[in-house]
């Protein structure tokens, strides 16, 4: 089966064509500057990468450019578009309506639109991407895979904010959690690497990239996670503050004469490790700056790693124990130094890091010592593969 995976942003569209059965990636690419020009980078497996400026007033032209390249004799990997069996779409917010991936029909589209107020920056772009793909490939099943769905198993005590209850009941204010596809994938890979059924494991997954979140996964189900109503909650990130005392907002808004939009812009784009260091949102830059003596770069790293350490401890408390910790995403997969710093002092949770095994980047590995009571792992995330696998599963059920 060949599945086209689409991740549509407001001015971008990422794609992969893959076979979920063999995990074979056939081609991947990115359309950028949609609406303000248009540029495509296309990387077919076994052929040279290709890039071009193509006029893309809307996502429709972008998906047309993608399909043309996929069947192009020089740059393509398939002969005709009809070889694509189904399309899987990444959708950021499924609200409380979607606890798993779904086949997209008119009713699902209506529900996705109803979720727009919950994710005003992301869901409209996802919907635009779905509409463009449905118009370009009308006879093909389309499936939505949600960032929030995996966390729908959170119990009320974990998802309710201590606000007047009507804000939950009437206005849907609650913890939703994000990065669900990644937390689900790496926890399942971890169980399989450990050779144990996920139904008997208590795992903490740490998705540490530009955006960062942790998840407590008890017996295969998400029972708590650090992101909340929006992806601004929880850990400090590249440019996002993570959780802050909400009293600070009024104090700063009064003092600096900021409106709520300016305040949120600061919390989303000028905070996190960028805000603390004043140098960069990229941990590689911070590592370099700290090594060269920058105290604020070191402080940004210390704040970030301290909060991740605390989240591992609180996740273990939430689950009443712990069998394994998994690191994934840009920082989690590639930084032995930050992993070591996060795990410092967690020996009391049965987590003994093996410095030699920890010295790896970007590949699956157990990095705890042989005598460590619990397992520490690095597992590169692969959200596109999960989207393709979910899509294939739903489509095969249709055929039965
Ligand atoms: P992601 O959002 O998952 O693509 O992760 C991006 C982040 O990963 C970047 O901002 C970097 O800070 C971080 N990263 C990537 N490679 C390394 C590395 N070798 N050491 C430290 N951080 C890294």
Q: What is the CATH number of the domain that holds 369?
A: 3.30.420.40
**Residue of 334, 339, 342 best suited for mutating to test ligand 1, as the one with most atoms within 8 Å of CB:** 334
Residue 259 is a catalytic residue: no
Domain boundary at 130, 146, 162, which?
A: 146
Average pLDDT, rounded, for the chain: 96
Residue 165 is assigned to a structural domain of this protein: no
Determine which one of 53, 85, 110, 147 is catalytic.
147
Task: Give domain status of residue 172, yes or no.
Answer: no
Whether 397 maps to a domain, the answer reads: no
Q: What is the pLDDT of residues 254-275, one digit of tens each?
A: 999 999 999 999 999 999 999 9
213 and 138 in a single domain? The answer is no
Query: Would you say residue 159 lies in a domain?
Result: no
Is there an atom of ligand 1 within 6 Å of 334 CB?
yes
Residues 253 and 336 both lie in one domain: yes
When pLDDT is cut at 50, 70 and 90, the band that residue 120 belongs to is confident
* C-alpha to C-alpha distance for 371 and 20, rounded to whole angstroms: 36
Instruction: List, for residues 304-361, the tens digit of each pLDDT value.
Output: 999 999 999 999 999 999 999 999 999 999 999 999 999 999 999 999 999 999 999 9
> Ligand 1 centre and the CA of 285: distance in Å?
10
Question: Is it the case that residue 399 has pLDDT exceeding 80?
Answer: no
Please tell me if the CB atom of residue 238 comes closer than 6 angstroms to any atom of ligand 1: yes
Based on the fold, state whether residues 212 and 139 are members of the same structural domain.
Answer: no
Contact at 8 Å (CB) between 339 and 164?
A: no
State pLDDT tens for residues 176-228.
Answer: 999 999 999 999 999 999 999 999 999 999 999 999 999 999 999 999 999 99
Is residue 154 situated within a structural domain? no
Distance between CA 208 and CA 191 in Å, rounded?
20
Q: Of the candidates 45, 62, 104, 44, which has an alpha carbon nearest to the alpha carbon of residue 53?
A: 62
Q: Of the residues 276, 283, 338, which should be mutated to test ligand 1's pocket, given the most ligand atoms within 8 Å of the CB?
A: 283
Give the pLDDT confidence score for residue 211 in this predicted structure: 95
* Entry pTM: 0.95
282 lines ligand 1 (CB under 6 A): yes
Would 167 be classed as within a structural domain? no
In the block, tokens 């039965």 appear at 400
For residues 155-177, give the mean pLDDT: 98
> Are 250 and 374 within one domain?
yes
Of 97, 85, 315, 68, nearest in space to 205 by CA: 315
Residue 204's domain comprises: 195-383
Decide if pLDDT at 79 tops 80: yes
CB distance 145 to 389 below 8 Å: no
Taking residues 135-148, report their average pLDDT. 95
If you average pLDDT over residues 97-122, what whole number do you get?
A: 94
Q: Among the atoms of ligand 1, which is closest to the Cα of residue 329?
A: 3
Residues 373 and 267 reside in one and the same domain: yes
The ligand 1 atom nearest the CA atom of 281 = 10
DSSP assignment of 246-260 equals: THHHHHHHHHHT--H
Please tell me the predicted confidence (pLDDT) of residue 350: 98
Decide if pLDDT at 400 tops 80.
no
């Amino acid at each position: 089966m060949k599945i086209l995976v689409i991740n549509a942003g407001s001015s971008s569209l990422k794609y992969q064509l893959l076979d979920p059965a063999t995990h074979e990636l056939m081609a991947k690419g990115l359309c950028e500057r949609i609406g303000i020009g248009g540029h495509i980078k296309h990387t077919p497996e076994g052929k040279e990468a290709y890039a071009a400026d193509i006029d893309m007033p809307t996502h429709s032209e972008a998906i047309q450019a993608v399909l043309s390249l996929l069947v192009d004799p020089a740059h393509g990997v398939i002969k005709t578009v009809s070889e694509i069996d189904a399309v899987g779409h990444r959708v950021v917010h499924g609200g409380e309506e979607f606890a798993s991936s779904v086949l997209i029909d008119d009713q699902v589209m209506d529900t996705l639109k109803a979720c727009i107020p919950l994710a005003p920056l992301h869901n409209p772009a996802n919907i635009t991407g779905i509409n463009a793909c449905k118009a370009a490939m009308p006879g093909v099943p389309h499936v939505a895979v949600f960032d929030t769905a995996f966390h729908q198993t959170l119990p009320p005590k974990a998802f309710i904010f201590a606000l007047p209850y009507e804000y939950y009941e009437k206005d849907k204010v609650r913890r939703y959690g994000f990065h669900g596809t990644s937390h689900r994938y790496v926890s399942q890979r971890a169980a399989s690497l450990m050779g144990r059924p996920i139904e008997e494991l208590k795992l903490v997954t740490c998705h540490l990239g530009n955006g960062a979140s942790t998840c407590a996964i008890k017996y295969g189900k998400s029972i708590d996670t650090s992101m909340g109503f929006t992806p601004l909650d929880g850990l400090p990130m590249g440019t996002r503050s993570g959780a802050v005392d909400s009293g600070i907002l009024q104090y700063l808004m009064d003092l600096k004469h900021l409106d709520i939009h300016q305040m949120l812009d600061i919390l989303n784009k000028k905070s996190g490790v960028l805000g603390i260091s004043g140098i960069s949102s990229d941990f590689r830059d911070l590592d370099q700056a700290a090594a060269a003596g920058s105290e604020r770069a070191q402080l940004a790293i210390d704040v970030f790693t301290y909060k991740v350490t605390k989240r591992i401890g609180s996740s273990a408390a939430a689950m009443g124990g712990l069998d394994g910790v998994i690191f994934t995403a840009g920082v989690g997969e590639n930084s032995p130094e930050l992993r070591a710093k996060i795990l410092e002092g967690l020996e009391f949770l049965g987590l003994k890091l093996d410095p030699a095994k920890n010295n790896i980047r970007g590949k699956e590995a157990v990095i705890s010592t042989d005598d460590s009571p619990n397992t520490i792992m690095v597992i590169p995330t692969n959200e596109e593969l999960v989207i393709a696998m979910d899509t294939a599963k739903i489509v095969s059920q249709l055929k039965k």
